[in-house]
Amino acid sequence: MNNMFQDNINQLSLLAAAIILALTVWVAGKYIKQMKTDRSTGELADENWDGIGEYKNELPAGWAYTFLGTMIWAIWYWTTGYPVNAYSQIGEYNEEVAAHTKQFESKWANADKETLQAMGEGVYLVQCAPCHGIAGDGMGGKAADLSVWGSKAGVLDTIKNGSKGLGFPMGDMPAGLLSGDAAEKVAEYVANGMKGDQPAEFATCAGCHGADGKGMNGMAPDISTYGTPEFVKMVLEHGKKGFIGTMVSFKGRLTPIQEKAVGTYILSLSHND
Amino acid sequence: MFHWLEQRPFLFSVGVFLVIAFAGLIEIVPDFAQASRPIAGKQPYTLLQLAGRHVYIKDSCNACHSQLIRPFKSETDRYGPYSVSGEYAYDRPFLWGSKRTGPDLHRVGEYRTTDWHENHMWEPTSVVPGSIMPSYKHMFTQNADLETAYAEALTVKKVFNVPYDKPGFTKLGSWEEAKKQALEDAKKIAAEMKNQDVKDAVARGEIPEIVALIAYMNSLH
């Protein structure tokens, strides 16, 4: 209710309604009084319509001035007054979106893990579930299985099958660069956030991802962030043209907070702690 | 003063109509003229996309799916940027639709992919549990009608000056050229599909409806 009176259009409408009501009462009263007391006088006009004549009356002064006023107002409104850029439907949409984005960002800037996870689940169900499935299992191979993503099994899967179509300058990662024990060791190391002693076999990965795994300044994906929302953000923004199918880029479609939330949610699928 | 006018009711009516119509005209015509221009970079449909559009119309997709995103945050969050009129400049007829039993499809090419459509058209509930959309398996066996699509493209090119074959715009060419191009486009889409019958058909030089429809879906953005 409070908001209704803050709107300037509503304020103007109410003001106009009050004025119209007052004028109506006044004019009606005036004419009712005239009908009771007035006698018709004056000079009749020449025309006569089936016996009904018309007095030659001057325009009532108030009427004439009002009419003149509306003409002057029309010229002003026509030339300068019309709010050409003051209002548009798209403008209102833009303002609404900007206000919402600002509020959204300040409200969730320091969201805790539970909140992010809940938000991520909401976004996931709308944007990701159509391909990756409601449970994140990739629906029997229709898309990447996110229930193992971010864990050692996920890294092993990538080493075994390679990775394709993230669009980095280094190009696609071939399948089976490592196998057996070596793959196990590297997967363990990467899935643990590259902490601890680096296995010698990581040299195979370092060729593209760099010795620190950070991807040599954007030449290849930064695998030191594997298993964190950061990595999910990267995939969301790049999109993927992989072995299973194509994943569109979500750049600009999700806000950074939403991307982080999706990442948090996806990680919760494989890390049930 | 206005006796000459008041005595002629027919003339007076015509005059009133003209005055009011004038106000309408100067408000509507300039807006229409500007808004009906194609937006920058808008391309007419390729032959394959147009054939897919005919499949879309034939199977009445527009009875359940709209192609018009309104400027409300709830819509742009879900479907992408709101639609503007210049985007429909080459749509004859436009497929705005008036009922959303299913979601809006105006920018479906931005967030769905060839393999997703393949799964979805074969059996919608396999990717969207709870979907009430019927499956369209016949699209995998029936062939698209390229002849009609070519006839339409050639007609709009000649009658409405749609910029086919102009520099920087979609190439149409002769029937043979257009057919060859459509088959090449179809091969690219079939390469991303998994259905072996469809792949075989395209390799034989046929174009199943599903391939044309996916080409059309992917062009919507």
What digits encode the pLDDT tens for the residues A110-122?
888 889 999 999 9
Is B21 in the same domain as B95? no
Tell whether B167 and B65 lie within a shared domain: yes
The pLDDT score that the predictor gives to residue B12 is: 93
Chain A residue with the nearest C-alpha to that of B125: A130
Task: Give the count of domains, chain B.
Answer: 2
Q: What is the mean pLDDT of residues A144-155?
A: 85
A-proximal residues of B, 130-169, CB under 8 Å: none
Q: How far apart are CA B93 and CA B201, in angstroms?
A: 30
Query: For residues A54 and A26, which has the higher predicted lDDT (pLDDT)?
Result: A26
| Same domain assignment for residues B62 and B17 | no
Smallest Cα–Cα separation from B129: which of B119, B138, B114? Answer: B119
Which of A71-85, A115-129, A150-164, B19-33 is the least confident region?
A71-85
Tell me the pLDDT of chain B (221 aa) as tens digits: 778 888 889 999 999 999 999 988 988 888 888 878 898 889 999 999 999 999 999 999 999 999 999 999 889 888 889 999 889 999 989 999 888 999 999 999 988 889 899 999 999 998 888 899 999 999 999 999 999 999 999 999 999 999 999 999 999 999 999 999 999 999 999 998 999 999 999 999 999 999 999 999 999 98
Angle of the B196-203 helix axis to the B209-219 helix axis, nearest 10? 100
| Whether A131 and B127 lie within 8 Å, measured CB to CB | yes
Q: How many CA atoms lie within 13 A of B199 on its CB side?
A: 7
Same-domain check for residues B178 and B114: yes
- Residue B40 domain flag: no
Please provide the average confidence, as pLDDT, over all residues in chain A.
86
Question: Which of residues B199 and A59 earns the better pLDDT score?
Answer: B199
Q: Is the CB of A254 inside 8 Å of chain B's CB atoms? A: no
Q: Which of A90, A247, A248 sits opposite B71 (nearest CB)?
A: A90
CA distance B145 to chain A (A): 28
- Indicate whether B99 and B23 sit together in one domain: no
Closest-CA distance of chain B to residue A4, Å: 20
Residue A248 has its nearest CB partner, among B3, B111, B126, at B111
Q: Could you tell me the CATH number of the domain that includes residue B162?
A: 1.10.760.10
Q: What is the pLDDT of residue A83?
A: 65
In the structure encoding, which two tokens stand for residue B91, read together?
């749509």
Percent of chain A predicted with pLDDT > 70: 97
Phi, psi of A139 (to 5 degrees): 45, 60
Whether B26 and B87 map to the same domain: the answer is no
State whether residue A142 sits within 8 Å of chain B by CB. yes
Q: Do residues B172 and B100 both lie within one domain?
A: yes
Chain A residues near residue B30 by CB distance under 8 angstroms: none
Same domain, B57 and B115: yes
Task: Mark yes or no for CB contact A245/B112 under 8 Å.
Answer: no
* Interval A97-142: pLDDT, tens: 999 989 998 998 888 888 999 999 999 988 888 888 888 888 888 8
- Does residue B60 sit within a domain? yes
Give the pLDDT of residue A240: 86
Range of weakest confidence among A39-48, A67-76, A78-87, A250-259: A78-87
A91 lies within 8 A of chain B by CB: no
Distance from CA of B73 to the nearest CA of A (A): 6
> Is residue B181 assigned to a domain?
yes
A130–B192: do the CB atoms touch at under 8 Å?
no
- How do residues B85-120 score in pLDDT, each as one tens digit? 889 999 989 999 888 999 999 999 988 889 899 999
pLDDT for the residue B187: 95
Query: Could you tell me if B15 and B76 lie in one domain?
Result: no
Q: Which of A89, A93, A246 sits opposite B113 (nearest CB)?
A: A246
The answer to the question of residue B101 being in a domain is: yes
Asked whether residue B59 is domain-assigned, the answer is: yes
Contact B73 A130 (CB under 8 A): no
Q: Is A245 on the interface with B (CB under 8 A)?
A: yes
B41 occurs within a structural domain: no
Q: How far is CA A99 from CA A9, A94, A213, B71, B123, in A?
A: 20, 8, 39, 15, 41
Residues B30 and B126 in one domain: no
A146 within 8 A of A266, measured Cβ to Cβ:
yes
Tokens standing for residue B174: 């002769």
Contact A138, A132 (CB under 8 A): yes
- What residue segments make up the domains of chain A, in order of their start? 112-150+227-273, 152-225
Q: Are residues B121 and B195 in the same domain?
A: yes
Q: Report yes or no: B187 and B195 within 8 Å, Cβ to Cβ.
A: no
Question: Cβ A245–B192 below 8 Å, yes or no?
Answer: yes
- According to CATH, the superfamily of the domain at A112-150+227-273 is Cytochrome c-like domain (1.10.760.10)
Q: Do B114 and A248 touch (CB under 8 A)?
A: no
Interface contact B112, partner A, CB < 8 A: yes
Residue A24 has pLDDT above 90, yes or no: yes
Reported as type and span, the H/E element at residue A204 is helix A203-209
Shortest Cα distance from B115 to chain A (angstroms)? 6
Query: Own/partner pairs for A88-96, CB < 8 Å, 24+ apart?
Result: A89/B71, A90/B71, A90/B82, A93/B71, A93/B72, A93/B73, A93/B76, A93/B82, A96/B73
Q: What is the dihedral of CA A159, A162, A164, A167, to 10 degrees?
A: 50
Which domain does B20 fall in, by range? 3-35
